[in-house]
Amino acid sequence: MFEAILLTVMTAATPLVIAALGELVTERSGVLNLGVEGMMIMGAVCAFATAHMTGSPYLGILAGIGGGALFSLLFGFLTLTLVANQVATGLALTILGLGVSGQLGESFVGLAGTKLQPIVFPVLSDIPFIGRVLFAQDLIFYLSIVLIIGVNWFLFKSRTGLKMRAIGDNHGSAHALGINVVRTRYLAVLFGGACAGLAGAQLSLVYTPQWVENMSAGRGWIALALVVFASWRPWRILAGGYLFGAVTIGQLHAQAFGVGIPSQFLSALPYAATIVVLVIISHNRRTTLINTPASLGKPFVPDR
C-alpha cells in the first residue's frame, strides 16, 4: 500500500521538479518567465499528438521538448530582443499556450494515449520495496534525476554557470567584462522552455496518458513557487517537488477514503500549500534577498 502511494507521489512530483529546474536556470540568468504553464501545456499537446500519430512515446517526448522550447523562443524574442515587460509577456504566454493547445488538441480529445512504459532493470527491480520505486521507472523520471545533478554541477562547478549567475546578479558588470548577456539569457530561456515542454510530455504520456484540455491544471504556477521555495538551489527543488507531489496525491487518497471534508477544499490543498509556503519564505526577507538574483526581471539593453 505504502509503496503504491509512494510511486504515485513520484509520478506527480516529476513534472513539477523538471519544470521548476528549467525556470530556476532561467531566473538565475536574470529572466523572469511566468509562462511556464503555457509552455507545459504546449509540451503536453505536442507530445500526445506526436505519440498518437507515430505510436512512439519517445518521439512524443522530443516533440514535447520542442514545443516548449519554441514557445520559450517567442518569449525570448519579445523580452530580450524587443525588451518587452517580462511579467506581462509571461502572463500573455500562458494565456496563449492554453488557447493554442486547446485548438491543436481538439481532435485528440477522448482518444487513447500511448503510454511511456517503465524501464525495468533486471534483478535490481526485484529488490523488496526500493526495486519498483527506483529501478522500474519511466525515462522521464530518470531524466529528472539527471537534470538535478547536471544543473547543480553547471551552476556551481562550471565556468559557464558562473558567468550565468554573474549575469543574474549584475548584468551591467557582466556586460562590461565582455560576457554576452543577451545570448546567455536566450540559451537559459530556451533551456527553461525545453524543461517545461518535457514536464508537459510527462503529463500526457505518463501521469495521464491522454489529452485533456488544460490538463496542466496550474502545475506551472506551482513550479514557479517551487523556485522560490528552493531559494534558487537545484537540490531543494527535488525536496519541494516531492512535498507538493505528496500533497496532491494525499488529497486524492483522502477523497477516495471518503474523508468528511468537501472535495473542493481537498482539490485546492496543493495551491493552498503553495500560498502558505510562499508566505513563510517571504517572512524571512533577509534570506530571500540574499538568494534572489539581483537582476531578476530587469531589462537589459546593451550599449550601442
CATH number, residue 44: 1.10.3470
* Coil, strand or helix at 1: coil
Give, for all 304 residues of the chain, the pLDDT tens digit: 677 778 888 899 999 999 999 999 999 999 999 999 999 999 999 999 999 999 999 999 999 999 999 999 999 999 999 999 999 999 999 999 999 999 999 889 888 888 999 998 888 888 887 888 888 899 999 999 999 999 999 999 999 999 999 999 999 999 998 999 999 999 999 999 999 999 999 999 999 899 989 899 889 999 998 998 888 989 989 988 888 888 877 776 666 666 666 766 766 777 777 777 777 766 666 666 667 898 999 999 876 5
- Residue ranges in 1-112 assigned as alpha helix (H): 2-28, 36-54, 57-76, 86-104
Q: Is residue 208 part of a domain?
A: yes
How many CB atoms are closer than 10 A to CB 27? 22
Establish if 303 belongs to a structural domain.
no
Q: Is there a domain that residue 163 lies in?
A: yes
d(CA 17, CA 277): 16
Asked if residue 301 belongs to a domain, the reply is no
How many domains in the chain?
Answer: 1
- Asked if residue 304 belongs to a domain, the reply is no
Domain extent at residue 29? 2-291
What's the predicted TM-score (pTM) here? Answer: 0.92
Residue 224 is which amino acid? L
Helix/strand/coil percent split, the chain, to 5 = 75, 0, 25
- In a domain, residue 121? The reply is yes
> In terms of Cα–Cα distance, which of 185, 202, 153 is closest to 17?
202
Task: Assess if residue 297 is contained within a domain.
Answer: no
- Is 6 contained in some domain? yes
118-175 pLDDT, tens digit per residue, is 998 888 888 887 888 888 899 999 999 999 999 999 999 999 999 999 999 999 999 9
- By percentage, how much of the chain surpasses pLDDT 70? 90
